[in-house]
Structure 1
Amino acid sequence: MLRGRRGAASMLSDGDRLAMLDELENSGLGWFWASDADGNLTYLSAAIAERLDIPLDDLLGHPLPALFAPIDGDGRTKSLSLMLGAHKSFSGFAVRAVKRPDGAVLRLAGQPVFTSGKKFAGFRGTGADITAEYHREAETQRLAKYDSLTGLSNRHRMAHQIESTLTAFKSAKRNCAILMLDLDKFKQVNDTLGHAAGDELLKQVAERLKRSIERECEIGRLGGDEFQVMIPDVDDRGVLGDIAMKIITMLKQPYSLDEGRCVIGCSVGIAIAPHDGVTREEIVRSADLALYAAKNGGRGQYRFFSGDLENEAIFRRRLEADLDTAVREKQLFLKYEPIVDAKTQKVRALEAHICWMHDTRGEIDEEEFASILDGSSQVVEVGKWSIAEACRHAAYWPESIRVAVNVPVPLFAHSDFVAEVSRALQEADMPANRLELEISEAVFFGDSNAVDRTLAQLFKLGVRLTLDEFGSGYSSLAYLRRAPFDMIKIDEKLILEAERHDSRELGLVRAIVALSGALEMETIANGIESNALLVSLLDCGVDYVEGPIFSDPVGRDVVESELLGDGWKIQPTVDRTKRARRRTVFRKIQVIHDDHSYEVTLRNLSKTGALIQGLADVPKGTQFVVDLGGGQLAVATVIRSSGDTQGLEFEQSLVDDGSGGLCTRHRVSPYALASAGAPLAALSPGSYKAMQGGMLGQGASVPQFGYAPSATHEAA
């Protein structure tokens, strides 16, 4: 049979065989190449040169390794010169032309040729264009690692990158920060403008994220509206706080989509390895807890992980679970914030705020309760109760005083909302025009026909309507044309920006006042704390004002007492400021001197210093290392000393911790503790010997300071 085949082949003339090879080469189905013993290219199908877009003369006579470079897909591909130098057959070798690194991809196969004397004479081989196949495989590999929508790393790749980075960094004793991000109000956009708008929004978020972090990092989208950032070699919480704040600021700027303009927010949780975890599971969990705390703190903010966040998260979930009991057992109550006539300073209305008298926690104020209620299944039930309760109270007030109640979006969209409002008015026997319903612009993201129908029914009922948070980013004149609003409430964040930056934001306030006047509506500004801001707002022509400069929310008994006289008039007082929402500073801490640790009471804390109490006879100029817990050590010098109280000045200022408190920029690395014989864990009292910068003792010494006689401390 073999002789038969050879016989059949021999029936073609040499010319026919050459013609057949030419046709095969020109068809692109088969290409050929050859080299001499020195590796110089002696033959190449013209079709290959044409496919590479390189003149054939620029290829022939040159060393093959100088013309083609292997595609190193996995970092293990051998060099072409080594392949040729082995004088052995090879196949499936993917290359690109050196002159066209982004051009066609070829797969080469070669067979060594030897003379009759078994002397190497070069290679003869074939080639194939695999460009399309290569790009398909590359795209498949890319989709396995990257998010198809945003192009960022996907969940799988982020997990691998964090895992491998932490493993390498552990042996090198390096730091790594993980940021967890969650978009605020994204679901609202997705549900109302559609999934196409949501997808486009996520793409724009990804681009802003990449621009906002100006250092080496890995950014990923984990799915939905959740993102993750890994920043290697950064443990400075001042730097990380600045990065988080820049992300929050950039992501809250308005977005332009084909379906309309929208604004979202962002919350960020931050954890740092090895302080907050050593493995990927530990550090990601820590960042998740910090994110949960940031969202519960009011959203649009960042939080660093700390050891107490887990207990805080557990307690928070218990509160959310207890909300059903709170409604059922009537633990909720209302406080009222006065709304003051800007010209006369007389109280014209009172805004209802919902508070909670928890059976073990005590009073939960309006701000914390609002964050607990947000997203709860009880939001509609609580909203109905607040309207009925506010009407019941206001029925006993003078007829000139109105009551304002905030309407959550889910309550506004509820089928029996208008009927519930009507029932509350009837049961309280109160005129409808004394009830003001504050409605967020977010309601307009719902079914426009249903929204218009509800607004028309409320207008017919006779209640007053206030457009809440105007200027928060959704603002559109279309809302004002469609709805019968009586008042525009300027967004509190815009008011606060006006206080900080003055000119541009005040210009926006003036524009809103002018717009409301043209539409025969009134304006109200809230959250006012300073007299300077009040004067500026009055100059802008705002009709009504409220905020701490007039009064914090007060109980029903205070309201009824004040309304008994000849009108309730409140003079603005600059001493009144919004209550600081931070943990108390009165707590026990450790201070270290030489190789001794002392327990003292931290009286107050600022970025530049602290006041401690409990030690006697401490001279000015004494240096302490102040242990604020969790590996936070601050070097401080005593600048004032009186009895058992010392004023300290920090060597390096503290930074914001994202929740209204303060923290050190750096923490003692668990790696440093491990090298000193301590476990790879959080710093604990007494673990200071042999620590770099930790007031090393030069042998045994006697404590220099004793506890003050009035203190109840035991010796450290």
Structure 2
Amino acid sequence: MSGLERARRSRFAGVTNEAADRPSQFAEALFFDIRAPENEESETIAAQRAAQLMHVPLLLAVAHLVCGAVVYLHSHGNFGPINPGFLLAAIGLAIASDILAFVLLQARTRFRLSSRTVTLALCTLVGFGSAMMTFFGHIASWIPAMSDGPLLSLVIGTSVTACAVVAIESPPLAIVSAIVGTVGSALFSNDPTFTAGIAFLALIVVVFSAASSSTMIATARARLKLDYEAHKALHFVNEFENSGRGWFWETNYQGTLSYVSQQLADDFHCEPDALLGRQFTDLLSVDTTPGDIMREERTLGFHLSARFPFSDVVVRAASTEDVHWSLSGNPVFDERGRFLGFRGIGTDLTEQRRSEQEITRLARFDSLTGLPNRALMRQTLDEALRNAASRRKGCTLFLIDLDRFKNVNDTLGHPIGDALLRQVAQRLTSVMGDHGQVGRLGGDEFKAVLPGAVETGLLESLARTMIDHVSRPYIIEGHRVTIGASIGIAIGDPERSCADSLIRNADLALYAAKAAGRGKHMFYEASMHSEASDRQVLENDLRQALDRGEMWVAYQPIVRTAGEEISGFEALVRWNHPTRGPVSPDRFIALAEECGMIAKIGEFVLNQAMAEAANWPDSVRIAVNLSPIQFNDPAIVDVVGAALAEHKIRANRLELEITEGVFLADSDATDDTFARLKSLGVRLALDDFGTGYSSLGYLKKAPFDKIKIDQSFVRGAASTAHRNTAIIRAIVTLAESLGMDTTAEGVETHDDLALIRDLGVSQVQGYIFGKPAPSDQARTMANSMRVEADGYSCVRAPRQRLMRRAIASIGGETKEIRLRNISSMGALAECDQVVTPGETMTIDIVGVGPVIGTVRWAQSGKFGLQFTEQFDLGRLAPKVERRASPSVMTPWYLSPPPEVKAS
């Protein structure tokens, strides 16, 4: 479609829209002047229209004067039934009202009268004036000298003309004038034809006034819009030119300059007027550097003569200075296709050409690591997705975040952190190889784009290898630094994925990887959106939990292995959410570390625990956990010291449990904190030993008093299927050699307790001696000093997995059921009949006999049965003698009463 055709269609569409809007514009114009303005545009137009009505009082005054003078002077003293004084008073009142209104309207600005108020006042004045002129016409008809003849026609014509002239510019005035004139004619005239004529003429005036006002309002709005666009364009031009980033130029059809920016004139040391009228090509010369000489078609002269648009043509100013510009321009044509000239912009390239290569490198690559930066990685991702769509192959995005990097920066300084980032970049690049492109987004965030790679096995292997390589220790300027990495992975669909959605999905996966304990990789799943929103809500609630009193401290006993005496308690923070209920510490502790609440929560736990420990016997210790963030806080020693002084507890009763995370940035600050804590006299315990990196160097450098063996080695240690026994024995031997105590966490069964005791572990902590309990229960246990072990002998009682048939009475009916997973305490029953939890029933196991039990749970087709007495699994053993299959008989306890028994 040609440009002219599009223009014709556009004009036709405009005419159609204008025709469709005319009824609404006409209706709006009727009452536009007396409505409250809806916006600034309407207010401006209303003010303009009100200003055009300032002559109305003068016109009315002249009309009143003419009509009154004609009536009075041509009466020849014969007024008939009219009192001359009354006539003069009426004429004076009308003229005085008009003059007073004119004076008040001239002072409208001083009185801050709105346009709407002015129009309403004029409506009142016109109504009064029309009524007065109708009255003068009526009086003239009573005067003998004027009752019949041209003078009466003069009065009536003057009245009608004045009302029409006054009201023609504002529909509300026309409406008021029409109503008053018609009513007055009907009251004072006996001729219906005359009244109808006046009404018809008034209607014509109203319609013409509304149509004229509608056109004026539409024109005013278009003019305001054009003025706004013109001012905005001029503002943009001035801002652009004043910013120094470029300038505008324009030529006429002859190629001479018709507009020149001040900046261009300043480059030639003259005023813009001095350059107007000169040929544009006289001021500039085309750059003829080697390689561009043969490109004649791209020269500025070619584009100007051929009237072709051009962009970024490099030219040099026709001056002695080595100044270069980049010019862009477009030919301008009118609606008839006539060439009007060129219009375009120019920018200074002098400095850019001197440092072009350096700017390009800095714009696309990270200056610290040499990897592609955020912009180039976004471009790489866009290209990979386009290629994936054309080749119908997927694309994968890795978002990599370094764990505990901030700790390195805070403790060792930014130079060490920068050196660490360079080594991390090298390791990531070596692992990625030819599979994709690695880049740095900023800070400790990296990105990897893997075009065409969507195989889950390959992606998992790359992610695990990346995490493994990044997590290996670094030696930087004599410091041994250990960090980790978390990776979020998003796989893009070859046809439907876009860069923004892929980045968002990978970011959600990275967030989930961090929440899962860091040092992990996670693939994006749709459910992560809701999880992220829920996590944000939970974080907001966590910030207010302490102030609302939702957090409290529970105490789990730590028992001496030899005599099962209470050695101390570990303080564990708990959160009872008002709507969620108890929130797991595994969930909110990590969240508190991320959002900066861990220090506040840790101080709360420390003070609560020590206040409670003051009520215990002096020999019972209290253990409090310190997160790496708390430990690395320079004020932690002062906080602990202030708590000891406030609660008046011996320092060696306080045991601070510290994880290996405090050693990841091995520095002098860490050693200093250990020394200052020991100087207070508190005890230090290495928590969760056996997990993470478990470097023996920690035990050599840090003054620990105790090692806590992680529960992953303790639970099920009595089982021969694990090597946990050997690991625990090694840890105990190591601790004894270093003069340290040992505590086994997570002991739940008597088998594990006996093994732990045999291996020589000093203390035990686990559910077998009690779950974390409120302060009142902990106080009772502390004062009693002893606690008995309570739990299963082993992790799970032995079970008979063979299916057994049985007979039971359910709902008054005899039913055959099937028993599975039979243990000494209960069994799983399969039955089509509905049972009720809590119901006690007797079942007859075929070949074994009756057993009494209680229904603990029930669902479709299954229920769990807990035996009232311990069941001997030996009864299920097959008999040596083989007999014929027993016939199924009704047990005695299911038989009907004798009186209803069948004969």
TM-score (norm 1): 0.53
Partner residue of 1:366? 585
The amino acid across from 2:424 in the alignment is V
Q: CA contact under 8 A between 2:482 and 2:664: conserved in structure 1? A: no
Map 1:229-628; keep pairs closer than 5 Å. Answer: 229-237=448-456, 240-274=459-493, 278-343=497-562, 347-412=566-631, 414=633, 417-425=636-644, 427-440=646-659, 443=662, 455-456=674-675, 458-468=677-687, 484-489=703-708, 513-526=732-745, 542-546=761-765, 553-556=772-775, 558-560=777-779, 562-563=781-782, 567-570=786-789, 573=792
Partner residue of 2:394? 175
Counterpart secondary structure, 1:306: coil
The amino acid across from 2:443 in the alignment is G
Cα deviation digits, residues 243-268 of structure 1 (max 9, x gap): 43343334323333333223212212
Tell me which of 213, 220, 223 is aligned to 2:439.
220
Provide structure 2 residue ranges, at least 5 long, that are not aligned to the other structure. Answer: 1-354, 797-831, 833-857, 863-903
User: Distance between the aligned counterparts of 1:195 and 1:533, measured in 2?
Assistant: 48
Partner residue of 2:117? none
User: Distance between the aligned counterparts of 2:596 and 2:773, measured in 1?
Assistant: 28
Q: CA contact under 8 A between 1:212 and 1:243: conserved in structure 2? A: yes
The 1:457/1:557 distance shift into structure 2, 3 A limit, reads: same
User: Distance between the aligned counterparts of 1:423 and 1:388, measured in 2?
Assistant: 10
Partner residue of 2:28? none
Partner residue of 1:203? 422
User: Distance between the aligned counterparts of 2:557 and 2:454, measured in 1?
Assistant: 45
Partner residue of 2:411? 192
Cα deviation digits, residues 270-326 of structure 1 (max 9, x gap): 222129971101110111112112212322223332333223222322322333321
Map 1:7-46; keep pairs closer than 5 Å. Answer: none
User: Distance between the aligned counterparts of 1:192 and 1:501, measured in 2?
Assistant: 45
User: Distance between the aligned counterparts of 1:201 and 1:562, measured in 2?
Assistant: 50
Cα deviation digits, residues 35-86 of structure 1 (max 9, x gap): xxxxxxxxxxxxxxxxxxxxxxxxxxxxxxxxxxxxxxxxxxxxxxxxxxxx
User: Distance between the aligned counterparts of 1:276 and 1:299, measured in 2?
Assistant: 32
The amino acid across from 1:522 in the alignment is D
User: Distance between the aligned counterparts of 1:351 and 1:287, measured in 2?
Assistant: 39
Counterpart secondary structure, 1:174: coil
The 1:488/1:362 distance shift into structure 2, 3 A limit, reads: same
The amino acid across from 2:612 in the alignment is H
When structure 1 is superposed on structure 2, of 154-163 and 255-264 the one drifting more is 255-264
TM-superposed CA distance for 1:474, in Å, is 7.3
User: Distance between the aligned counterparts of 1:343 and 1:277, measured in 2?
Assistant: 66
The 1:555/1:258 distance shift into structure 2, 3 A limit, reads: same
TM-superposed CA distance for 1:170, in Å, is 2.6
User: Distance between the aligned counterparts of 1:298 and 1:433, measured in 2?
Assistant: 32
Counterpart secondary structure, 1:387: helix
The amino acid across from 1:260 in the alignment is H
TM-superposed CA distance for 1:643, in Å, is 11
User: Distance between the aligned counterparts of 2:439 and 2:484, measured in 1?
Assistant: 18
Counterpart secondary structure, 2:595: coil
Q: CA contact under 8 A between 2:566 and 2:787: conserved in structure 1? A: yes
Counterpart secondary structure, 1:334: strand
User: Distance between the aligned counterparts of 1:261 and 1:485, measured in 2?
Assistant: 20
Q: CA contact under 8 A between 1:182 and 1:225: conserved in structure 2? A: yes
Counterpart secondary structure, 1:222: strand
Counterpart secondary structure, 1:570: coil
TM-superposed CA distance for 1:189, in Å, is 1.9
User: Distance between the aligned counterparts of 1:235 and 1:575, measured in 2?
Assistant: 45
User: Distance between the aligned counterparts of 2:712 and 2:363, measured in 1?
Assistant: 42
The amino acid across from 1:185 in the alignment is R
The 1:239/1:443 distance shift into structure 2, 3 A limit, reads: closer
Q: CA contact under 8 A between 1:336 and 1:555: conserved in structure 2? A: yes
Cα deviation digits, residues 616-668 of structure 1 (max 9, x gap): xxxxxxxxxxxxxxxxxxxxxxxxxx99679xxxxxxxxxxxxxxxxxxxxxx
Q: CA contact under 8 A between 2:768 and 2:789: conserved in structure 1? A: no
Counterpart secondary structure, 2:549: coil
The amino acid across from 2:502 in the alignment is I
Decide which structure has the larger Cα Rg and report it.
Answer: 2
Partner residue of 2:136? none
The amino acid across from 1:375 in the alignment is E
User: How many residues matched?
Assistant: 449
User: Distance between the aligned counterparts of 2:763 and 2:729, measured in 1?
Assistant: 14
Could you say which structure has the higher strand fraction? 1
TM-superposed CA distance for 1:355, in Å, is 1.9
When structure 1 is superposed on structure 2, of 314-323 and 422-431 the one drifting more is 422-431
The amino acid across from 2:581 in the alignment is G
Q: CA contact under 8 A between 2:559 and 2:566: conserved in structure 1? A: yes
TM-superposed CA distance for 1:179, in Å, is 1.8
User: Distance between the aligned counterparts of 1:576 and 1:452, measured in 2?
Assistant: 42
Matched-pair identity in %: 40
TM-superposed CA distance for 1:454, in Å, is 5.2
Q: CA contact under 8 A between 1:263 and 1:473: conserved in structure 2? A: no
The 1:508/1:385 distance shift into structure 2, 3 A limit, reads: same
Counterpart secondary structure, 2:435: coil
User: Distance between the aligned counterparts of 1:477 and 1:212, measured in 2?
Assistant: 29
Cα deviation digits, residues 202-259 of structure 1 (max 9, x gap): 3333343345457722222222211122233444545544543343334323333333
Partner residue of 1:129? none
Cα deviation digits, residues 339-365 of structure 1 (max 9, x gap): 344555555332222121222222112
The 1:286/1:416 distance shift into structure 2, 3 A limit, reads: closer
The amino acid across from 1:314 in the alignment is S
When structure 1 is superposed on structure 2, of 517-526 and 498-507 the one drifting more is 498-507
Cα deviation digits, residues 586-615 of structure 1 (max 9, x gap): xxxxxxxxxxxxxxxxxxxxxxxxxxxxx9
Q: CA contact under 8 A between 1:254 and 1:473: conserved in structure 2? A: no
The amino acid across from 1:265 in the alignment is G
Counterpart secondary structure, 1:374: helix
Q: Cα RMSD over matched residues?
A: 4.5
Partner residue of 2:120? none
Counterpart secondary structure, 2:446: strand
Counterpart secondary structure, 1:328: coil
TM-score (norm 2): 0.43
The 1:214/1:644 distance shift into structure 2, 3 A limit, reads: farther
TM-superposed CA distance for 1:159, in Å, is 0.9
The 1:162/1:414 distance shift into structure 2, 3 A limit, reads: closer
TM-superposed CA distance for 1:573, in Å, is 4.7
Counterpart secondary structure, 1:375: helix
User: Distance between the aligned counterparts of 1:213 and 1:290, measured in 2?
Assistant: 19
User: Distance between the aligned counterparts of 1:443 and 1:344, measured in 2?
Assistant: 34
